[in-house]
Amino acid sequence: MSHPVISTKFYTGIWAGLICLTVLTAAVSYLELGPFNIVLALVIATCKMLLVALFFMGVKYISEKMTVVVIVAGLFWLFILLALSMTDYISRPWV
Amino acid sequence: MSDSTPAVATHNPALQHHFSSMHQQMEASVMGMWVFLITEIMFFGGMFCGYMVYRYMHYGAWLAGSQHMDFWYGTVNTVVLLCSSLTMVLAVRSAQLGQRKMIVIFLLITILFGLAFLGIKAEEYYLHWQRAEFPGLHWDYSGPDPQGVSLFFSFYWAMTGFHALHMVIGIGLVSVITFQAWRGRYNSEYYNPVEISGLYWHFVDIVWIYLYPLLYLVSRKHF
Amino acid sequence: MATATVPAVERENYLNKEYGVMSWLLTTDHKRIALLYLVSITFFFFIGGFFALLIRLELLTPAGDLMQADTYNKMFTMHGQVMVFFFLIPAVPAVLGNFLIPIMIGAKDLAFPRVNLLSWYLFIAGGAFMLYTILTGGVDTGWTFYTPLSTQFLDTHVVAAALAIFIAGFSSILTGLNFIVTIHRMRAPGMTWSRLPLFVWANYATAIIQVLGTPVLAITLMLVALERIFHLGIFNPQMGGDPLLFQHLFWFYSHPAVYIMILPGMGVVSEVVTAFARKRIFGYRFMALALIAIAVLGFLVWAHHMFIAGISLYAAMVFSLLSYFVAVPSAIKVFNWTSTMYRGSISYTTPMLYALGFIGLFTMGGLTGLFLAALGIDVHVTDTYFVIAHFHYIMVGGMVLAYMAGIHYWWPKMSGRMYPESWGRLAALIIFIGFNLTFFPQFILGYLGMPRRYWQYAPEFQVLNVLSTAGATILAVGYILPMIYLLWSMRYGKPAEANPWHAAGLEWMIESPPKTFNFDETPTVTWEAYNYDELNQEVPVER
C-alpha cells in the first residue's frame, strides 16, 4: 500500500488548520445560539476529525477501498445506536 | 497473489510465512487496525449515546455542569493532543523515508506530548476532587438540579477516564515502537507497526476532539 | 480432484508435527487453536448444562423446596451467562471457523495468527473470572444484568461476572477482526466472493456483528462496574439516571448477539445439506445476501426486548415492525435449504440428521419469535416460559444441533478418524426427542401464564414441568454420548480418507488431518462453490 510521502509543510498546514478550528470552536461557544450551539460545535469537531482522518491517518490516500467501507460502516453503526435510542426518548412524551 | 513456495525467492525477513508478499501483509495489518478502531468507535459510542440521552433529558444540568469545567485545562489539552498528532504523523513520514533518527525523535516528542496531556488531566482531576465533584464517592453540590449535574459529572469522569486509559495504552504502545525504531527495525520497506500505532494514536486524538466541545463548551460562559 | 487413498499413519500432519504441552499452548496454528477452543467450550457447556439440570430439578415440584429463591436466581443467571458467553458465542466460529476458514479460502493461516492465540487466552481468562464468580457464590442478576438491581441492590459478585464477560467479549471481537481481514485479504487466486462456501459467508457476517456490537456491551458492563464501585449513578433513578438506558445499551449488543450465535450454524447447515443432498445450494446469491441482511437488520430490532419496560409506544411500534423484517431473510434461507434437498440424493448421515433437525426446530423457534414481535401478544407472553421456549428452540434446537452437525461432518478432517455412525445417529435421535420433550411443554406453560425466573409456580403447571424435566434428562444423555464416542474414535476410529463424504470444498481436497500449513501450494480456484454436478459425475453416487 504505502501512501505517497507527504511534505512536512503540508502536514504542518493541516495542524495549523486544526488549531484554528479549535480556537474557532472555543470562541463560538461564547455566542448564544440556542440549539445551534451543539450543531455548530459538532460540525467543527467533525471538520477537525476529517482533517485528522483524511490526512494524518491517510484515509485520503488509502488504495484499498474496502478499508474506507469499514470506516464508513463503523460511523454508520454509531449513528444507528444514537438515532434509534433517541426514537424512544423523543417520543416518550407523545403518548 | 501468486504461489508461496517457501524460502525460494529472497524475501524480506519481516515477511510472515502465511502472507505471500509484503504488500499483502501491510494491507492486512492496516485493515486490521482500522477494524479495531471501529470497535473503539462503538466502545466510546456507548458512552456518547448515554451522554446524548441525558443531555436531552437534563439540558439545564448539562449547562450547569459544563460551567464547572476548567476551560483552559481542556483547551490546552486539546492543543497538546493536536501537536502530538502532528509529531506522530511526522514520525510515520520519517519511517517512510527510512530516517531512523528522526523516527525516534518524533516518537519521543509524541510521547512527551502524551505525558503532558496526562499530567494536565491529572491536575484537572485533582481540582475536581478538591471541589467534591465526584458523584457518589465525594460529592457536594448545592446548586439546582443536583441529580442532573451529578449525571453530567458521571459522564465527565467516565468518558475522560476511558480516554485517559486509552492514552496510557497509546503511550505504552508508542514507547515500544520507539524502542524498536531505535534498534533499527524499521525502514522504508517495512514500517507497518509505526503506521498502525499512528492510526491508534490519531484515533484517541479524535475521541478527544469530540469530548472537548461536548464536555467543556456546553455552556456559553460569560466573562 | 478428490483423493481417496487412506493415508499412512505416520504422515506428518498438524497434530503430530510437534508434541508437548508448550507446543499447544504457544501454537499459532489456527487448527490447533481450534482444538484448544473445542476443549474449553465443551468444558463450559457442561458447566452451563449442570446449572440447567439444577433448574429443572427445582422445577419438578411447584414448591420452592430444593433451594432458596436467591439461589435459584443464581442458577438461571449462571446457566445463561455461561451458555451464552462461554459456549454459544464462540462455539462455531472459534472451533469450526478457526479450523476451516483459512482452508476453505485457500490460505495457510488466518491473517493474524498470534492475535488468534491471544483470543483464546482472553477466552480462558474470562472463563477463569467466570469460574471464580461461580465458586465464590455466583451472581443472581439474570444474564441480562438489569439495573438498578445489579448496580444498587445485590451483594453478589456482579463486577467479577461483568469482567468475565468483558474479557470474553474482547476475545470475540478479536476473532471477528481476524476473520474479516482474513476473508478480505487472504483468499487464494480465483477464490472470488461468489465462489466462497456459505460457511465462510456466514462467519463473515457473524464477524461483522461481533466487531460492531460487542464493544457496546463492553462499555455497558464497564459502566455497571463503575457504578457499583464508585456509586456514579448513571443508571440509578434516585440519582437521575434511567434504567432503560442500560437496557438500550445492553440489548443493542445482545440482540445482534443472538445472530452471532445462529449465523455460523446456518453456515454449517448449508455445507451439510449440500453435501448430503449432493446438490449445489439453491439460490447461492440469496443465501449469501440473506446472511448479510440478517447481520445488518439484526442491529435494528433490539428494543423488542423492552416492549413492556417503559419505552414509548411509538418506539415500540417501530421496533416491532423492524422485527418482522428481520424474519424475512431467515425464512428465505429455510426455503432455500428445502429447495436444495428437493430432488437431491439424500443420505441420512449423522450430520444430515442434525441439519434436518435444525431446519425444523429453527423454523419453529423463528416463527414463535414473530409471535413475540407482535406487541399485543408480547404483552401477555413476555417474561413467561413462552419466551424461554422460543429462544431455546433457536439456540438449542437450532444452534446446538448445527454445532453437532458441524462437529460430526468435519470430525474426519480434524481428527483423521471416522466417528461410529450408528452411535452418531442414535445420539442425534436422543437429542431430538429429549430436546422437544424439554421445550415444547414450555411453549404451553408460557402461554398459560407461567412466569420465567420464578422458583415456584402454581400447581396446575406441574405436569408440564415434569415432562420438561424428563426431557432434560434424556437430552443430557444425548449430549454425553458424543463426548464418549468422539473421544473413543480418536484412538479406535477408522482412519479417515481425505474426502470421506465425497463433498465439495477445498477442505476435502487436502489430507485428513491436514498438514500444518494446509496446502503444499496455494491452490488456484476455477470452480464454483458446491460443484456437485461435476463431482457427481466423477464419483458415482452409490447410496
CATH number for position C104: 1.20.210.10
Using a CB–CB cutoff of 8 Å, tell me whether B86 touches chain A. yes
Q: Please tell me the distance from the alpha carbon of residue A38 to that of residue B55, in angstroms, as a whole number.
A: 11
Smallest Cα–Cα separation from B46: which of C166, C231, A39, A47? C166
| SS3 of C13-35 | CCCCCCCCHHHHHCCCCHHHHHH
Using a CB–CB cutoff of 8 Å, tell me whether C223 touches chain B. yes
Mutate to test the interface with C, among B18, B26, B192 (most CBs of C within 10 A): B18
Q: What share of chain B is helix, strand, coil (3-state, %, to 5)?
A: 75, 5, 25
Residue for cell digits 501468486?
B2
| Residue C222, in any domain of the structure | yes
Whether residue C173 and residue B39 make contact (CB cut-off 8 A), yes or no, is yes
Residue B195 C-alpha, separation from nearest chain C C-alpha, in angstroms: 17
Strand partners, B134: B138
Residues 14-73 in B contacting A (C-alpha not used; CB under 8 Å)? 23, 26-27, 30-31, 34-35, 37-38, 41-42, 45-46, 48-49, 52-53, 56-57, 71
Range(s) of the domain holding residue A11: 1-62
CB pairs under 8 A between A and B: 132
Q: Are residues A25 and A39 in the same domain?
A: yes
Q: Please tell me the distance from the alpha carbon of residue B59 to that of residue C385, in angstroms, as a whole number.
A: 41
Residue B160 C-alpha, separation from nearest chain A C-alpha, in angstroms: 17
Q: Please tell me the distance from the alpha carbon of residue C8 to that of residue C19, in angstroms, as a whole number.
A: 19
| Partner residue opposite A70 with nearest CB, options B23, B31, B209 | B31
Taking CA–CA distances from C517, the nearest residue in chain B reads B18
3-class SS at B168?
helix
Confidence of residue B12 (pLDDT cuts 50, 70, 90): confident
Q: Are residues A79 and A47 in the same domain?
A: no
Whether residue C314 and residue A77 make contact (CB cut-off 8 A), yes or no, is no
Residues 174-213 in B contacting A (C-alpha not used; CB under 8 Å)? 195, 198-199, 202-203, 205-206, 209-210, 212-213
Residues 151-170 in B contacting A (C-alpha not used; CB under 8 Å)? none
State the pLDDT at residue C11.
83
Taking CA–CA distances from B31, the nearest residue in chain A reads A67
Chains with 3 or more CB pairs under 8 A to chain B? A, C
Whether the Cβ atoms of residue B174 and residue B104 lie closer than 8 Å to each other: no
Residue A63 C-alpha, separation from nearest chain C C-alpha, in angstroms: 13
> How many domains in chain A?
2
Q: Are residues A77 and A52 in the same domain?
A: no
Q: Please tell me the distance from the alpha carbon of residue A34 to that of residue A21, in angstroms, as a whole number.
A: 20
Using a CB–CB cutoff of 8 Å, tell me whether B214 touches chain A. yes
State the pLDDT at residue C9.
57
Regarding pTM above 0.90, the answer is yes
Smallest Cα–Cα separation from C205: which of C263, C163, C145, C161? C263
Q: Give the CA distances from residue C68 to residues C27, C456, C543, in Å, rounded to whole numbers and listed in that order.
A: 45, 10, 56
| Residue C21, in any domain of the structure | no
Domains of chain B: 65-216 (1.20.120.80)
Q: Give the CA distances from residue C104 to residues A65, C199, C284, C518, in Å, rounded to whole numbers and listed in that order.
A: 24, 9, 16, 10
Mutate to test the interface with A, among B86, B97, B188, B204 (most CBs of A within 10 A): B86
Using a CB–CB cutoff of 8 Å, tell me whether C242 touches chain B. yes
| Residue C161, in any domain of the structure | yes
Whether the Cβ atoms of residue C104 and residue C529 lie closer than 8 Å to each other: no
Close Cβ partners of C108 (under 8 Å, ≥ 6 residues apart): B4, B17, B18, C102, C517, C518, C519, C522
Higher pLDDT, C295 or A34: C295
> How many domains in chain C?
1
Q: Which three cell numbers stand for residue B47?
A: 458512552
Q: What is the DSSP string of B23-81?
A: HHHHHHHHHHHHHHHHHHHHHHHHHHHHHHHHHHH-HHHHHHHHHTS-HHHHHHHHHHH
Whether residue C249 and residue B46 make contact (CB cut-off 8 A), yes or no, is yes
Smallest Cα–Cα separation from C496: which of C39, C15, C32, C110? C15
Whether the Cβ atoms of residue B139 and residue B133 lie closer than 8 Å to each other: yes
How would you class B203 by CB atoms within 10 Å of its CB: exposed for 0-12, middle for 13-18, buried for 19 or more? buried
Q: Are residues A21 and A56 in the same domain?
A: yes
10 Å Cβ neighbour count for C408?
25
Chain B CB contacts of C209 below 8 Å: none
Residue B146 φ/ψ, nearest 5 degrees: -60, -30
Chain A CB contacts of B195 below 8 Å: 58
| Partner residue opposite C522 with nearest CB, options B3, B16, B44 | B3
Chain B CB contacts of A74 below 8 Å: 37-38, 41-42
Chain C CB contacts of A87 below 8 Å: 312, 314-315, 318
10 Å Cβ neighbour count for C466?
15
Q: Please tell me the distance from the alpha carbon of residue C236 to that of residue C147, in angstroms, as a whole number.
A: 7
CB pairs under 8 A between A and C: 42
State which residues of chain C have pLDDT below 50: 1-2, 543
Whether residue B38 and residue A11 make contact (CB cut-off 8 A), yes or no, is no
Higher pLDDT, B123 or B11: B123
Helix axes C158-185, C69-83, angle to 10 degrees: 10
State the pLDDT at residue B2.
45
Share of residues in chain B with pLDDT > 70 (%):
94
Q: Are residues A7 and A43 in the same domain?
A: yes
Whether residue A2 and residue B96 make contact (CB cut-off 8 A), yes or no, is yes
ipTM exceeding cut-off 0.90 for this assembly = yes
Higher pLDDT, B6 or C230: C230
Taking CA–CA distances from A89, the nearest residue in chain B reads B53
| Residue C372, in any domain of the structure | yes
10 Å Cβ neighbour count for C74?
21
Confidence of residue B1 (pLDDT cuts 50, 70, 90): very low
Range(s) of the domain holding residue C123: 28-531
